[in-house]
């Protein structure tokens, strides 16, 4: 009886969305015989990103993005929240794994000529995703607001100061004021939890659509 009911629900959606046709199109894509484990690096990077989203979302329930409470809230997650230590540890190590897999993926794509015609745009979106991945690392590093995070932010946001004319205004834009403080943490928290994930999702979609259209690059 329950299966009949589920079949009716499936048939209702199938009639309107053609789910089976979409599934057939996805699963019928040809995979070249030269594909090996090194071609999985991009997929591993995606998996790390999804783990980041899940664990990061879980921590937003307890993290407080203020200079007076940020560090204490991280300590609370680590010591008081059920499995909080595990969630934060997975978030931290999957972030490092994501950066490593992304770097290896870039090398693999470069060595197999994945940047050549007609895959130029696939390469460009991949490079943008690499920059976004590095930005995740920089912004996330600051969120505990400990000594390491504070000075990392101070150094990173101070780099543009060497640029003539626009350097100082750019530093102030990044920090939210002339010095590193609450405005800086608020900006980095917003970037880390909203802006960067949204941009990453958009460029990932573009990247995957172009890979599906152009196919996988040739062997080494």
Is 134 a residue whose pLDDT tops 70? yes
What is the spatial distance between Cα 46 and Cα 37, in angstroms, rounded to a whole number?
15
User: pLDDT above 70 covers what percent of the chain?
Assistant: 98
Closest CA to 133 of 192, 206, 215: 192
Task: Say which residues have a Cβ less than 8 Å from residue 60's Cβ, sequence separation at least 6.
Answer: 193
Token digits of residue 41:
């690096």
Region of residue 160 (phi > 0: left; psi between -120 and 50: alpha; otherwise: beta): alpha
Is 36 a residue whose pLDDT tops 80? yes
What is the spatial distance between Cα 47 and Cα 131, in angstroms, rounded to a whole number?
18
Is 220 a residue whose pLDDT tops 60? no
User: Which tens digit of pLDDT belongs to each residue from 73-118?
Assistant: 999 999 999 999 999 999 999 999 999 999 999 999 999 888 988 8
pLDDT higher at 27 or 212: 212
Could you tell me the domains of the chain?
Answer: 34-214 (1.20.810.10)
Task: Say which residues have a Cβ less than 8 Å from residue 160's Cβ, sequence separation at least 6.
Answer: 166, 167, 170, 171, 174
Q: Does 105 carry a binding-site annotation? A: yes
* 188 touches 135 (CB < 8 A): no
Task: Say which residues have a Cβ less than 8 Å from residue 44's Cβ, sequence separation at least 6.
Answer: 97, 101
* 151 touches 35 (CB < 8 A): no
Supply the pLDDT for residue 197.
97
Task: Say which residues have a Cβ less than 8 Å from residue 123's Cβ, sequence separation at least 6.
Answer: 109, 114, 115
* 91 touches 102 (CB < 8 A): no
Q: Does 34 carry a binding-site annotation? A: no
To the nearest 10 degrees (0 to 180), the angle between helices 120-142 and 196-214 is 160
pLDDT level of residue 143 (50, 70, 90 thresholds): very high
Q: Does 48 carry a binding-site annotation? A: no
* 139 touches 105 (CB < 8 A): no
């Amino acid at each position: 009886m329950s299966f009949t009911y589920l079949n009716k629900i499936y048939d209702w959606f199938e009639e309107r969305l053609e789910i089976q046709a979409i599934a057939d199109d996805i699963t019928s894509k040809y995979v070249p015989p030269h594909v090996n484990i090194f071609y999985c690096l991009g997929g591993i990077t995606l998996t790390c990103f999804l783990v980041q989203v899940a664990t990061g979302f879980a921590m937003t329930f307890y993290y407080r993005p203020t200079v007076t409470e940020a560090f204490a809230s991280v300590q609370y997650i680590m010591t008081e929240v059920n499995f909080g230590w595990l969630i934060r540890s997975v978030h931290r190590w999957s972030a490092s794994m994501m950066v490593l897999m992304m770097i290896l993926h870039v090398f693999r794509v470069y060595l197999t000529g994945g940047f050549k015609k007609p895959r130029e745009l696939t390469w460009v979106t991949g490079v943008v995703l690499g920059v976004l991945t590095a930005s995740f690392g920089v912004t996330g590093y600051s969120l505990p607001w400990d000594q390491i995070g504070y000075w990392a932010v101070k150094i990173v946001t101070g780099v543009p100061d060497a640029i003539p004319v626009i350097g100082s205004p750019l530093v102030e834009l990044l920090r939210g004021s002339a010095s590193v403080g609450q405005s800086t943490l608020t900006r980095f928290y917003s970037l880390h939890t909203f802006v960067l994930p949204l941009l990453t999702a958009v460029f990932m979609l573009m990247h995957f659509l172009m890979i599906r259209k152009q196919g996988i690059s040739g062997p080494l």
